[in-house]
């Protein structure tokens, strides 16, 4: 493609076979072949790309590690994929400022490890933390199991380095939790899914590293009992740093077909709870917990060392990949409802009458509802099922995505179900920041 000839500081991939992996992410969607894949190594490449995209009318699709579940980084018609995996920069920890700066290309696992090497903690923990890139987590405002205590990625971002439609590099924010000189523009980029510009790096807030963990495997006798537990725990003064669950159907699949460690799992349904505050391994703390959990538990396992803790978490971390391997055409949603409406949600889901299985982040009401038979379902019927699911979540005060974002996968539903005022404001922002619609066209809005 002529428009990319002589692009500085970049590798350009154009042959169909090498571009194939860039057509997909971890959603069920496949993009169209892009005009090219560009791997920039300096601001000069991005500046030129933006200039040429505006002049030639092609779009720019930012890509991190491609682990997204909403089709956000898959190419649409007439676009160039901008793969940030070669973007330069080091991870630098500032213990005195309790912060860390890192480039968009940094693997999240390295960001977390760099903080830990200084006895510090970067909490965001999407279950893809071993494979996703920091830039992708910023652009999707990733959450994870510990969001129920620590919040999402945006709660840990102090400043953002970004390149916008003017082709220039800007830093939004400072390395301090207190900064109130006007609206926080950096936050506008967090969760923007690449539609406002390129995120090149960020400065992230850190916390002291937790020193003890109480990790519990909680099988329950009756699945419904699990649904009141998040509220009952907070009512009793307990704040888990993670509260994950598997409904009876997911548990049965894991038991019947999962790896060795999953086959022994007891109960009608199952939860994993973790606490990380000082004193959480004390007898008094655990006794208090047991008093609360005992009546609903069907046996309770408490990890007594790091190996056992990792064993409990391994089951959770493998669930998504396991279900995908068994049901390659499945569609996995990530609706969210207020925790007080969990029971109402599952009753409503039952009434919708289509088969689904659920697991995920019960502690913050973010549920991965999986339609395992999606691949064999008529697309029009599937669309109807998904819309019913989203409407149910919205009716209960929730929304259609708790963490994965809108991307391409949920765009139609987002446009159909969102408040018109919300869409109007979002379109006005997009028009102001990207008037020629070069950044991730066809996504979100
Ligand atoms: C097994 C598994 C478990 C997961 N668990 C979770 C979970 O618990 N919580 C959660 O939130 N997500 C989860 N995800 C989804 C995904 O991993 C996260 O959304 C992650 O943050 C995406 O990072 P990435 O680098 O792969 O981004 P990509 O998939 O490459 O991109 C995601 C979006 O960000 C945009 N983007 C990427 N880089 C940039 C950039 N530099 N500038 C501007 N825009 C950019 C893309 O255009 C796209 O819209 C999971 C995925 C898998 C496969």
pLDDT band for position 1 (cuts 50, 70, 90): low
Mean pLDDT of 371-382: 96
* Pairing of β 59-63 and β 79-83: parallel
Q: In the beta sheet, which residues pair with residue 138?
A: none
67 CA from centroid of ligand 1 (Å): 5
**Residue 259 confidence (pLDDT):** 87
**Residue 317 confidence (pLDDT):** 87
Q: Which two tokens stand for residue 345?
A: 């949600």
Angle at which helices 342-352 and 379-395 cross, to 10°: 150
Q: Is 124 in the pocket of ligand 1 (CB under 6 A)?
A: no
**Residue 340 confidence (pLDDT):** 96
Question: Cα separation of 136 and 166, whole Å?
Answer: 22
Residue 235 has pLDDT above 70, yes or no: yes
Q: Tens digits of per-residue pLDDT, 173-183?
A: 999 999 999 99
**Residue 228 confidence (pLDDT):** 95
Q: Is 63 in the pocket of ligand 1 (CB under 6 A)?
A: yes
Q: Is 62 in the pocket of ligand 1 (CB under 6 A)?
A: yes
Residues 409/26, Cβ–Cβ less than 8 Å? no
Q: Is 257 helix (H, G, I), strand (E, B) or coil?
A: helix
Q: Is 356 helix (H, G, I), strand (E, B) or coil?
A: coil
DSSP 368-417: EEEETTGGGS-HHHHHHHHHHHHHHHHHTT-BSBSSS--TTTTHHHHHHH
Mean pLDDT of 362-388: 97
**Residue 2 confidence (pLDDT):** 79
Q: Name the more confident of 314 and 426.
A: 426
Question: Cα separation of 70 and 78, whole Å?
Answer: 20
Q: Tens digits of per-residue pLDDT, 35-79?
A: 999 999 999 999 999 999 999 999 999 999 999 999 999 999 999
Residue from 35, 43, 51, 54 nearest 9 by CA: 43
Q: Is 77 helix (H, G, I), strand (E, B) or coil?
A: coil
Atom of ligand 1 nearest to the CA of 133: 25
Say which CATH topology domain 92-208 has.
3.30.465
Q: Tens digits of per-residue pLDDT, 130-174?
A: 999 999 999 999 999 999 999 999 999 999 999 999 999 999 999
Question: Cα separation of 105 and 86, whole Å?
Answer: 7
Mean pLDDT of 429-436: 98
Q: Is 104 in the pocket of ligand 1 (CB under 6 A)?
A: yes
Within 8 A by CB and 6+ apart from 256, the residues are none
398 CA from centroid of ligand 1 (Å): 21
Which H/E stretch holds residue 343? helix 342-352
**Residue 260 confidence (pLDDT):** 87
Q: Is 360 in the pocket of ligand 1 (CB under 6 A)?
A: no
Residues 213/276, Cβ–Cβ less than 8 Å? yes
User: What are the domain boundaries of the chain?
Assistant: 2-86, 92-208, 214-395
Q: What percent of the chain has pLDDT over 90?
A: 96
Select 2-86's CATH number: 3.30.43.10, 3.90.550.10, 3.30.470.20, 3.40.190.10. Answer: 3.30.43.10
Question: Cα separation of 262 and 378, whole Å?
Answer: 32
Residues 246/269, Cβ–Cβ less than 8 Å? yes
Q: Which two tokens stand for residue 52?
A: 């040429």
287 CA from centroid of ligand 1 (Å): 39
**To test ligand 1's pocket by mutation, which of 128, 160, 365 has the most ligand atoms within 8 angstroms of CB?**
128
Question: Cα separation of 205 and 172, whole Å?
Answer: 15
Question: Cα separation of 56 and 428, whole Å?
Answer: 24
Inter-residue long-range contacts of 290-293, CB under 8 Å, 24+ positions, other chains counted = 292/232, 292/233, 292/236, 292/238, 293/216, 293/218, 293/229
Phi, psi of 162 (to 5 degrees): -145, 155
Q: Tens digits of per-residue pLDDT, 4-45?
A: 999 999 999 999 999 999 999 999 899 999 999 999 999 999
> Is 214-395 a domain of CATH 3.40.462.10?
yes
Which H/E stretch holds residue 92? strand 92-94
Q: Is 72 in the pocket of ligand 1 (CB under 6 A)?
A: yes
Atom of ligand 1 nearest to the CA of 198: 42
Atom of ligand 1 nearest to the CA of 64: 30
Q: Is 201 in the pocket of ligand 1 (CB under 6 A)?
A: no
Question: Cα separation of 62 and 203, whole Å?
Answer: 20
pLDDT band for position 261 (cuts 50, 70, 90): confident
Q: What is the pTM of this model?
A: 0.97
Residue whose CA lies nearest to ligand 1 atom number 21: 137
What's the mean per-residue pLDDT of the chain? 96
Radius of gyration of the chain (CA): 22
Residues 269/245, Cβ–Cβ less than 8 Å? yes
Name the residue with tokens 């950096």: 186
Residue 379 has pLDDT above 90, yes or no: yes
Q: Is 129 in the pocket of ligand 1 (CB under 6 A)?
A: no
Name the residue with tokens 């709870």: 273
Residues 370/385, Cβ–Cβ less than 8 Å? no
Q: Tens digits of per-residue pLDDT, 97-131?
A: 999 999 999 999 999 999 999 999 999 999 999 99
Residue 366 has pLDDT above 70, yes or no: yes
192 CA from centroid of ligand 1 (Å): 12
**Residue 101 confidence (pLDDT):** 98
Residue whose CA lies nearest to ligand 1 atom number 5: 127
Residue whose CA lies nearest to ligand 1 atom number 2: 128
């Amino acid at each position: 493609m002529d428009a990319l000839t002589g692009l500085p500081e970049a590798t350009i991939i154009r042959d169909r076979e090498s571009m194939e992996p860039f057509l997909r992410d971890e959603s069920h969607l496949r993009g169209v072949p892009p005009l090219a894949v560009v791997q920039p190594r300096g601001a000069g490449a991005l500046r030129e790309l933006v200039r040429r995209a505006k002049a030639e009318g092609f779009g720019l699709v930012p890509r991190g590690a491609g682990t997204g579940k909403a089709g956000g980084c898959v190419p649409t018609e007439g676009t160039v994929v901008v793969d940030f995996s070669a973007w330069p920069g080091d991870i630098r920890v500032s213990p005195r400022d309790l912060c860390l700066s890192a480039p968009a290309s940094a693997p999240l696992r390295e960001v977390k490890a760099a903080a830990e090497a200084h006895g510090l903690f970067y909490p965001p923990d999407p279950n893809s933390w071993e494979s996703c890139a920091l830039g992708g987590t910023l652009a999707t405002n990733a959450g994870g199991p510990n969001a129920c205590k620590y919040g999402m990625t945006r709660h840990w971002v102090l400043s953002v380095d970004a390149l916008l439609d003017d082709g220039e590099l800007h830093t939004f924010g400072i390395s301090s939790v207190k900064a109130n000189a006007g609206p926080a523009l950096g936050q506008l980029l967090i969760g923007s899914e690449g539609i406002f510009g390129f995120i090149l790096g960020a400065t992230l807030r850190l916390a002291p590293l937790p020193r003890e963990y109480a990790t519990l495997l909680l099988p329950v006798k009756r699945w419904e009992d699990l649904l009141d537990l998040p509220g009952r725990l907070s009512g009793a003064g307990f704040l888990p740093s993670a509260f994950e669950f598997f409904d009876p159907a997911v548990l049965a699949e894991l038991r019947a077909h999962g790896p060795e460690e999953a086959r022994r799992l007891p109960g009608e349904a199952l939860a994993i709870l973790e606490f990380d505050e000082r004193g959480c391994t004390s007898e008094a703390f655990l006794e208090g917990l047991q008093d609360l959990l005992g009546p609903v538990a069907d046996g309770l396992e408490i990890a007594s060392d790091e190996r056992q803790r990792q064993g409990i978490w391994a089951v959770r971390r493998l669930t998504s990949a396991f279900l995908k391997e068994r049901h390659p055409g499945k569609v996995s949603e990530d609706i969210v409802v207020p925790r007080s409406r969990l029971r109402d949600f599952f009753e409503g889901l039952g009434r919708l009458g289509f088969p689904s299985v659920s697991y995920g982040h019960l502690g913050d009401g973010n549920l991965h509802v999986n339609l395992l038979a999606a691949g064999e379902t008529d697309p029009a019927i599937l669309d109807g099922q998904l819309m019913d699911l989203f409407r149910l979540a919205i009716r209960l005060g929730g929304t259609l995505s708790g963490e994965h974002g809108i991307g391409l996968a949920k765009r139609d539903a987002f446009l159909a179900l969102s408040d018109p005022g919300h869409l109007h404001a979002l379109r006005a922002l997009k028009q102001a920041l990207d008037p020629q619609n070069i950044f991730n066209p066809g996504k979100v809005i």
